[in-house]
Amino acid sequence: MTAAYERKKLNWMDLLSLAFLAGLAVLPPITEIHKQLILLAIGVLQLSEGRLIAWVPRRGRTYVVLLKLLLATLLLSHTNELSINSSYYPIFYLPVVTAAVYFGPVGTLLWTLLASALYCSYLFPALQTYELTTGAVAELVIRNLFFFLAAIIVNGFATENRRQTHRYQYLAEQLAETNRRLEQAQAEARRSERLAALGQLSAGLAHELRNPLGIIKGSAEMLGQQVRATTPIAAELAGFISEEVERMSSLVTRFLDFARPLRLQLQPRLLDAAVDRAIQDVTANWHGPPVQVQRHYEANLPPVLLDQDLCERVFINLVQNAFEAMSEMGGGTLSVSISRAEHDGRQGVQVQFADTGPGVPPALREEIFNPFMTTKKTGVGLGLSIVSKIVDEHGGSIALAPAPGGGASFVLFFPAAAAAVAPAPPAAVSA
């Protein structure tokens, strides 16, 4: 059942209010057709009140109260020759209570004052014919005071109800945010467990493979030297064996880098300098299609605690990946942004690498930082795992975010050094 259908459906309270209005319509004066028409208009307004407010959100409540005041004033003029003595004067409670529900204390008092003034406006025609006695004045004052009393009481309940509603909404938002962080923490914990298990496995395999590879390489070199003069083909094959062993040894080293505990040499440093060196290193050794690098660095960034060599390795890996991804499309643009940021209540610096390459398939976004997961045709998929490990050891975070141009966008956060946290300056620099 849709929400729109729920709004159109009458509930029992609507039917009850219509029944009470119908009761007023059949009571004296029965012959006054205008009275029945006004009561009908009040009933229609009561049923369509919610739709009117939804149709005109900013002024709908004001229009509803004004219409009810107008109808209440008209009803009194058609129910008694001396309108101020009409038994239907409690109809003014309708706009007064409505205003108390929709507006704050000040607005409620102003609307009630207007309702009281409209009711008292019938006093002037009555004074043309009748004399105002002390008892009549007291009665008039009592009726008006009851208008204000009802308005204040209803407004107090409505205000408390709104306060509780806002409180529950705030608690619901806080709970949703806590659940989101909990899910994120659980995902990071699972990833850390996988990394630890694979790290232990990788370390064991790497140590077991390194010795045989050394023996194979030494044997191939000796064999090549022995047969170089007599059997050139055998010497060439021995050279191939040596090259492949060298490649396998390099792979073993990467496994050890992934498994070996990091010993960070942390010092307060500026991130932009490390990022610039990484970009220069990759650009100087790049021989593929042209790639344009756009830098957007915020001014006066706080220093962060960094291991310079390891962080440059992180940035080189990400820049190299972006260049290689865009080479498949004949080149592109790498946008590098550095700015102040806040993550999990901590102040720090955010670095974003956004390229215009093919991006990461949606099916791999959740696993891109797992070991042995890669989108390249070559490689074993340890690069981003090592990057993630280094960033985690710095107390930071790394995430894959949607890129505006459809490519990949990696966002890294590094917490600021404790003594460097200060209010953000207004200036920004784009290069």
Q: What is the mean pLDDT of the chain?
A: 83
Q: Are strands 291-297 and 332-343 parallel, antiparallel or unpaired?
A: parallel
Of 85, 117, 132, the position where a domain reaches its end is 132
Does one domain contain both 21 and 38?
Answer: yes
Q: What is the pLDDT of residues 72-131, one digit of tens each?
A: 999 998 887 777 888 899 999 999 999 999 999 999 999 999 999 999 998 888 787 777
Q: What is the pLDDT of residues 363-417, one digit of tens each?
A: 777 777 766 666 665 555 667 878 888 888 888 988 888 776 678 899 999 999 8
Does one domain contain both 218 and 353?
Answer: no
pLDDT at 27 exceeding the cut of 80: yes
Q: How much is the pLDDT for 249? A: 76
Buried b (16+ CB within 10 A) or exposed e, 145-181: eebbebbeebbeebbeeeeeeeeeeeeeeeeeeeeee
Percent of the chain with pLDDT over 70: 84
The CATH number assigned to the domain holding 231 equals 1.10.287
Q: How much is the pLDDT for 260? A: 61
Between 212 and 294, the more confident residue is 294
Does one domain contain both 126 and 80?
Answer: yes
Is this prediction's pTM over 0.75? no
Does one domain contain both 406 and 422?
Answer: yes
Does one domain contain both 245 and 336?
Answer: no
Does one domain contain both 205 and 225?
Answer: yes
Q: Is residue 172 in a domain?
A: no
Question: In whole angstroms, what separates CA 77 from the centre of its chain?
Answer: 55
Helix (H, G, I), strand (E, B) or coil at 208: helix
The CATH number assigned to the domain holding 388 equals 3.30.565.10
What is the spatial distance between Cα 166 and Cα 179, in angstroms, rounded to a whole number? 20
Does one domain contain both 106 and 25?
Answer: yes
Assign 187 a pLDDT band (cuts: 50, 70, 90). Answer: confident
Average pLDDT estimate for 172-181: 90
Q: Is residue 299 in a domain?
A: yes
Query: Residue 25 sits in which domain range?
Result: 3-132
Helix (H, G, I), strand (E, B) or coil at 415: strand
Assign 157 a pLDDT band (cuts: 50, 70, 90). Answer: very high
Overall domain count for the chain: 3
Q: What is the pLDDT of residues 258-279, one digit of tens each?
A: 656 667 788 899 999 999 999 9
Q: Is residue 153 in a domain?
A: no
Does one domain contain both 229 and 117?
Answer: no
Of 216, 236, 259, the position where a domain reaches its end is 259
Of 106, 132, 158, the position where a domain reaches its end is 132
Does one domain contain both 252 and 350?
Answer: no
Assign 68 a pLDDT band (cuts: 50, 70, 90). Answer: very high
